[in-house]
Amino acid sequence: MKKIFKILTGLFLLTLVSLILLGYSGIGNLTKNNAKNGTFININNEEIRYIQKGEGQDILLIHGTPGCLEDWDLITDYLSKNYRVTAFDRLGNSYTSSNNYNYTLKENAAVVHQLIDTLKLKNIVVIGHSYGGSTTAQLAVEDNPKIDSYILVAPPLYGINPGILYKIASIPVIGKGFAYLMYITKAKGVIRETYKSSMGSKPELLTEEFLNFRTDVLSQPKVLYTTSNERTNYNDGLDKIAPKYSEITKKVSIIVGDSDYQNLMDGCDKFKRVRPQTELLILKNTGHFVQMEKTELLLGFIDSHLKTRNLERNRDAEN
């Protein structure tokens, strides 16, 4: 019996070590060499993929966790007719690297500041979805003078529950092995089903091309590890900025679906109470992916935000 126990223990440890080594090997991860579109820019030894379209006032788009710049495909062409639109893959997502990433909102904001300077963006409207919306809230608190205003799309603004699997996958050393295990087992199926359940109002978007691309990009071990760490660190980051929401001086608009997560919707309501001048729009029969489910309504919301800001700037100039 003791011999069998020793054998099983040895096999378990061998499997665990093998998974950890595979997790650190980079096998299964996509790099800049796999990208079919976009340009890469090096910031602090990180290769960041981005696209830029159009001319005019700058609009910067920040995706969620997990996510990719393609999450904005349905609005970039429209916006680029009148604005210069920049979208990028955040650290550890899609084709962007994560060599020295600590998975915090503050670090995401720091990357945005550096991206703004490197790409020489100015008078910027930042639009962030989900985790990107939380990053946008971090930016609003920090108040970069080159940013004009903010639009938050389905943003978690107060505490969230990261979930036990995310906590396991964020454990140092072991986490990367667990992320690799998820990559070779359940990740692709879970991602595919998540999109199907979250975008039931727009089944026509869920083509095999759409689902195959998302599952390939979002199921990478590095992305699973990134998502797990970002979710685990989420509450700490939100707790640090939430007390400062009332001090935000620039225009903030929030749009969220009424079928989104309840604590997320409650957080948007709370933000509105703390900062009454915030514009809050709640869309009926809409889930988490507002930019895909209600593209035209989101574009109308963005247009309204931009027109209001132009009127405010003109009024300020006259005074």
The pLDDT tens digits for 182-224 are 898 999 999 999 888 887 678 888 999 999 999 999 999 999 9
Q: Is the pTM of this model over 0.85?
A: yes
Q: Is 81 exposed, middle or buried (0-12, 13-18, 19+ CB in 10 A)?
A: exposed
**CA torsion angle for 281, 285, 289, 293 (degrees, to 10)?**
-100
Instruction: Delimit the domains of the chain by residue range.
Output: 2-318
Helix 187-198 and helix 208-218, axial crossing angle in degrees, nearest 10: 130
Residue 229 carries which DSSP code? Answer: H
117 vs 25, which has greater pLDDT? 117
Tokens read off for 176:
């990367």
CATH topology of domain 2-318: Rossmann fold (3.40.50)
Parallel, antiparallel, or unpaired for β 46-53 and 84-88? antiparallel
Q: How confident is the model at residue 314 (pLDDT cuts 50, 70, 90)?
A: confident
Q: Give the integer Cα–Cα distance in Å for 245 and 156.
A: 13
pLDDT digits (tens, 9 = 90+) for 93-108: 999 999 999 999 999 9
